[in-house]
């Protein structure tokens, strides 16, 4: 028995000391991105591979020899993600603007957590390429409100991208309720439809929505939305989100700002300007939010 235990320990020691690396099958004329241990990133096509240990890679700066021991990850990239020789990662935040949705949806396995001004928290996840769901909460218990007043909401959304990849159509709803209150049985919300023109990196969205509550039905007047996103670089995008109200008097809420897209987070900052009758002067309501992508795609 003692000998068996020693043999097992010796086997585990030897097996555990062996470094196993998955072999990559490179395709001719395909583009790959190599992330190195020293922090450098190279993009190119593999010309020669010697015994799975060294790669000859053709890049925009010339031919490089990369040792597998110095490589952290290797990923095949879509040529549409290479702009002027620089790799732009797929935009993980193309399904929304500051808050309002675009016609694009989260891809299957994608998700993100968004926090705006500490108060507003939402987590969204793509259950398929055509359906996603978000759940949000204002944690009033952090501010001494206990469980007597807890605003929560859900945001189901269906989307259908155009076959040519130049747009998408989406329909969804936002349902808001308050847990722990005497009015907890009454919910209010919005049903909407959006049509997005353009790609995930450069898009314009036009939408319409109708407010409703679970007791009184739908509102008579719709709310119109016009929003846009233009990716200006690998990590930056311009964002605008605008609402137009058709109640007794016309009103609008317009905005503009920027989005910084890091590898593991996005930062939105900008401002909303209310344009309503009776509002004196011009003032800006600041917006600041942080989003962290998650899921099997990250």
pLDDT, tens only, 174-186: 999 888 765 555 6
Alpha helices per DSSP H over the chain? 2-16
- In angstroms, the CA 86 to CA 73 distance is 17
Lowest mean pLDDT among 46-50, 96-100, 159-163, 228-232: 46-50
Q: Token pair of 186, please?
A: 């009454």
What would the two tokens of residue 237 be?
């995008």
Q: Residue 275 is encoded by which pair of tokens? A: 């344009």
CATH of 110-295, one of 2.60.120.10, 3.40.640.10, 1.10.1760.20, 2.40.160.40: 2.40.160.40
Contact 82, 31 (CB under 8 A): yes
Task: Give Cα 224 to chain centroid, integer Å.
Answer: 23
For residue 73, what are its two tokens?
């990850």
What residue has token string 């240990």?
A: 53
**What are the extents of the domains in the chain?**
2-87, 110-295
Would you give the distance in Å from CA 209 to the centre of its chain?
22
Query: 121-145: per-residue pLDDT in tens?
Result: 999 999 999 999 999 999 887 776 5
Record the tokens describing residue 102, joined without a space: 């675009």
- Residue 5 corresponds to which tokens in the numbers above? 């235990």
Q: Which secondary structure element, helix H or strand E, spans residue 12, and what is its range? A: helix 2-16
Comparing CA positions, the residue from 191, 230, 229, 187 lying closest to residue 207 is: 191
Q: Please, which residues bridge with residue 134 across strands?
A: 124
DSSP state string for 185-202 = T--EEEEEEEEEEE-SSE
Please say whether the beta carbons of 270 and 87 come within 8 A. no
Tell whether the model's pLDDT for residue 271 goes beyond 80: yes
Residue labelled with tokens 């929505």 = 209
pLDDT class for 29, splitting at 50, 70, 90?
Answer: low
Q: Which CATH number fits domain 2-87: 3.40.50.2020, 2.60.40.10, 1.10.357.10, 2.30.30.100?
A: 2.30.30.100
Residue 273 burial (10 A CB sphere; 0-12, 13-18, 19+): middle
């Amino acid at each position: 028995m003692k000998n068996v235990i020693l043999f097992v320990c010796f086997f585990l020691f030897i097996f555990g000391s062996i470094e196993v690396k998955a072999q990559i099958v490179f395709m001719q004329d395909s583009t790959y991105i190599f992330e190195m241990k020293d922090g450098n990133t190279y993009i190119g096509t593999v010309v020669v591979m010697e015994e799975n240990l060294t790669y000859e890679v053709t890049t925009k700066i010339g031919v490089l020899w990369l040792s597998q021991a110095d490589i952290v990850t290797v990923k095949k990239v879509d040529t549409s993600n290479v702009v002027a020789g620089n790799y732009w990662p797929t935009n993980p935040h193309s399904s929304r603007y500051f808050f309002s949705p675009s016609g694009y949806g989260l891809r299957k396995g994608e998700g993100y957590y968004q926090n705006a001004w500490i108060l507003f928290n939402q987590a969204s996840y793509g259950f398929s390429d055509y359906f996603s769901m978000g759940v949000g909460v204002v944690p009033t218990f952090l501010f001494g409100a206990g469980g007597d007043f807890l605003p929560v909401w859900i945001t189901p959304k269906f989307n259908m991208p155009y076959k040519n990849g130049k747009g998408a159509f989406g329909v969804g709803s936002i349902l808001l309720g308050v847990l722990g209150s005497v009015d907890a049985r009454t919910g209010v919300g919005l049903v909407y439809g959006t049509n997005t023109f353009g790609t995930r990196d450069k898009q314009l969205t036009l939408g319409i929505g109708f407010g409703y509550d679970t007791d009184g039905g739908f509102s008579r007047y719709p709310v119109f939305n016009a929003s846009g996103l233009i990716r200006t670089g690998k990590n930056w995008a311009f964002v605008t989100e605008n609402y137009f109200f058709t109640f007794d008097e016309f009103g609008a809420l317009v905005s503009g700002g920027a989005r910084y897209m890091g590898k593991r987070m996005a930062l939105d900052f900008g401002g909303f300007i209310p344009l309503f009758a009776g509002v004196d002067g011009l003032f800006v309501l600041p917006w600041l939010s942080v989003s962290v992508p998650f899921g099997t795609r990250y």
